[in-house]
Structure 1
Amino acid sequence: MVLSYKNSGLSVIRIVRYFYYFGGGCSNHVKELSEKINPYLKDQIIITSDIDDIDKEFDRECPVPVIRIKSPDIKKRFGIPVTPLNNLLFMINVYRTLEKMERPDIIHAHGICPVAFGSIIGRILNIPVVGMLHGSSEAYSPISGLFESTLAVLFKPDHALILDDGSPAPQKFLKLWGDRVSIVYHGIDTEYYSINSQFNMVRERLGFRASDFLILSTSSLITVKRPDLAIEAFVKFLEIKAIDERRAYLIFAGDGKLKESLMDLVKNNSIMESVKFAGKLKPDEIKDYLSIADAVVGTSVYSNMNRSIQEAMSSGAAVVAFNSGRLDRLIEDGSSGLLVKPGDTSEFADKLYMLYENPELKETLGKNARNTILSERSWDLRIKQELEVYKLLMTELNESGRN
């Protein structure tokens, strides 16, 4: 941790729309961030939605108190988008909750809707607002990107931390918000995501042989991640491998809307016995799969500069990924991973076969990958950046006399 920093004495409220085990990279990011920065704050509370059937173990494991608030969840009808309305109703309840609490020094909102509506709350309650954006909604659809841009033009936080996830987000928000923006990288918990020397025991427990060649994807089964290309590359890999008796598997450790269509694709290619859908997994379960993987794949043609790839690198896994999102800024091809031209599944299959033929290459790539994460994705730097932003905003508040 950043040992040169003392406790800032600041209280922070984090606003997160969705916060649960399977809430994706944003949930994991917020959970780790709150843990790592907590020693340097007076106190910290997360305010989020009360989701039906939420696993209460998640809140108990969270390093800071979590307040879940009930909020209407209006369902889409007649093709009319209701997400903006649901987000507005959620933020109204956030405001009502904050009114009853001791005023925090900082509101730190995660996601464009909490940032936008949180900025209004900050003005009303005279509290500085830090916005955190985990990439851009443009990754999901042009309409989502337009909605995001509209909110960003209308509502501006006092300062924004924009995650460089390989998307156009940094350039977009620098243009919209100018010097209010600081660009940050993923912080990876290198103690949690570390090399597991007991991987053969884990393989046996999960039903695999020590000799099996295991290809793992830990991405969600959604369009932007292109899991269909993982299957396409795997089919070509099996053709190269041909009659070799060593078993090979493609494992999807994730869930999403594309699962049924992916299962159909697997069936159509007659590889049902070689593809495993592990479903939704908790972080500890993901760690187990990372420890036994011979290759971890990234098949998004939009950006593979994401948490799942960097967690795999931290775990000492050999990564094979499309060089999207300028991933070559982090991975040196042939040294800390194997990079492939985006969309080229034939080259992808060739790179997988390189690992299949050369187990020593896996060890070299994994070792170098972990060293890269240790040196370039430490939480220390991230915590320093966030504390400096908090300090700046409090100085500006005091100088303006707003308090």
Structure 2
Amino acid sequence: MVSLLKHPVYGPLFAAQLVALTGTGLMTIALGLLAYDLAGPHAGAVLGTAYAIKMLAYVGLSPIVQAFTERLPRKAVLVGADIIRAAVALCLPFVETVGQVYLLIFVLQAASASFTPTFQALIPDVLPDEEDYTKALTLSRLAYELENLLSPAIAGLLLLVISFSGLFVGTVIGFGVSALLVIRTPLPARPRREKPGPFWRRVTRGGRIYLATPRLRGLLALNLSAAAIGAFVLVNTVVVVRATYDLPAPYLALAMGAFGLGAMCAALILPVLLRQAGDRIVMLAAACGMVGVSLALGLFTALFGWPAWHLMLAVWLGLGACYSGVITPAGRLIRRSAHNTDRPAVFTAQFALSHLCWLITYPLAGWGGRGLGQSTTLILLGLIAAGALWAAGRLWPAGQDRAPEHDHSDLPPDHPHLKAHPMSDHGHRHRLIIDEIHPHWPR
């Protein structure tokens, strides 16, 4: 895995991702302090609205932005997005109203809706070998979890010597360094489509491919399962730690660190598990573990109260490991489910649809925890995750890598596809990807 960091293209791209994530982590903390400075005790409502705007931008704008930018060079898209995000971070210390915060967050997340899917679709072209790509997914997961662990620590040290507005400068530096690293890195050319098609078809192409592919329909259900449990952890851990256990703020970092540590440990062993068992078994097993642990904890707390603190940390460690087992392999499924010309659109569909799941589960976790109590909310979200897991198993049957036998009566006998895959009396079978020749999955 370390050898990947020496790759002349992937190494700088990973470094760009890491510094941008660090800058984003600093901004998250600074944004919370800015909200309190502007709204006082209503800061939670401000942040909740800001994060809802973030999700709406991801869900609604990412397919449109991708369609607008798909003909632009990848380097221009990535660097442009970083420059816009740096400019927004530079403006945030000078805002005077909550409305200005909402506007700037919308612009920033619109830029992220362009950057992230483009970056994700680029990596399979940089690392065409599946084993190398799997290791890259592991490194990406480690980067996200390290950001969750290190950014609060870095912010805490900086706040000893500067005001919270100075953290936004760190965000600007993070995005600026990311842009410089991308500028200096030679990127592979974007694959070109011979017939791009009308704009609206370009907007919806990724979603059509995604929803027509069984393994990706299963992935969508697994995204909902992971979001249900992940939302409870991210939204309600602070309430559990401070109100239920009556512990000071540093223990919140310990609880979230346990979740992150579990995710990192799982990410490190995933390349071996995926090679031996395959994506479907690993992802469904991880989701099953996540559902079982969350429902067991919810029932236990409803009957007997919350367990001892060290047991709660162990549960969060296990949930983090299972969460990583569900989320990390997603890129592998997308990589083998789309031609390289369609990958940006399909990665964008995954980006939008997965955040739609979070848009549903975040309010359920927050409002449910307040109105129904933590135990009932955890059981409710666990049942949603269980239903999504059942749907994933049905939508993604075993053995779907090869399609059922099918024919192409609409193609001429000398078509290149029929030459590559000769027809028998009953049709033919091959590894299938949804495209112009196969607009639907054969039944």
The alignment's TM-score, normalised by the length of structure 2, stands at 0.27
More helix as a share of residues: 2
Would you tell me which structure has more strand in proportion to its own residues?
1
